[in-house]
Amino acid sequence: MAKRIIRRYLPDASKIRDHKHLRLFGRLLHDPNLWHLNRRSVAGAFAIGLFMAFVPMPFQMIPAAALAILFRVNLVISVGLVWITNPFTMPPIFYFTYQLGAWVLNTPALPPVTFDMSWEWLTTELGRVWQPFLLGSLLTASASAVVGYFGMRALWRWHVVRDWERRRRHRVKRKE
């Protein structure tokens, strides 16, 4: 049942293999393990995707794909989960990670600053917040990866056990 739900929303593997940004992986994309839907593959993909979603770097999909290939987990899910942080969600998420890092480092959080897309702003403001920001991002990425991995494994197991019980009840009912 869980496979059918997930498979309904996944694109075709050939479309992913031919995607212009993922062509750099070449023949590595032909590994069948990258397209399997099982508890190990989906849970690992959740861990990779959630971890990379909270890493503050451009083009997060490429390292997510590389990690999915390295660990041989579902490629589509790991790359898709990176989009949790998108242009609309990045500001509140990264502000939270900065606040978390400032709290862990026991440094006073700076008041919200106005954003100015200039080299001067980048060098002065980012220089003041990079340590708590990166620490908070790493903590959030690690925690979400662990929760995503074990949460997906538990959810998958619950789904399988529920289906087994349903089939068992159906068999018993048929025998009566």
Does 85 score more than 80 pLDDT?
yes
Query: What does the alpha-carbon distance between residue 149 and residue 125 come to, in Å, rounded to a whole number?
Result: 35
Does 32 score more than 50 pLDDT?
yes
Query: What does the alpha-carbon distance between residue 134 and residue 94 come to, in Å, rounded to a whole number?
Result: 9
Question: Could you give the C-alpha distances from 125 to 99, 107, 119, 122, 139, in angstroms and in order?
Answer: 15, 16, 10, 6, 22
- Report DSSP state, residue 30: G
Instruction: Report domain extents, the chain.
Output: 2-175
Does 1 score more than 60 pLDDT?
no
Q: What's the pLDDT at 148?
A: 95
Token pair, residue 68, equals 């999915």
Spatial contact of 40 and 68, defined as CB atoms under 8 Å apart:
no
**Among the ranges given (1-15, 107-121, 132-146), the one the predictor scored with the smallest mean pLDDT:** 1-15
Question: Could you give the C-alpha distances from 20 to 10, 24, 109, 124, 160, in angstroms and in order?
Answer: 18, 8, 41, 36, 36
Q: What's the pLDDT at 31?
A: 72
Token pair, residue 168, equals 């068992």
Give the orientation angle of helix 119-175 with respect to helix 2-9, to 10 degrees: 140
pLDDT band at 139 (very low <50, low <70, confident <90, very high): very high
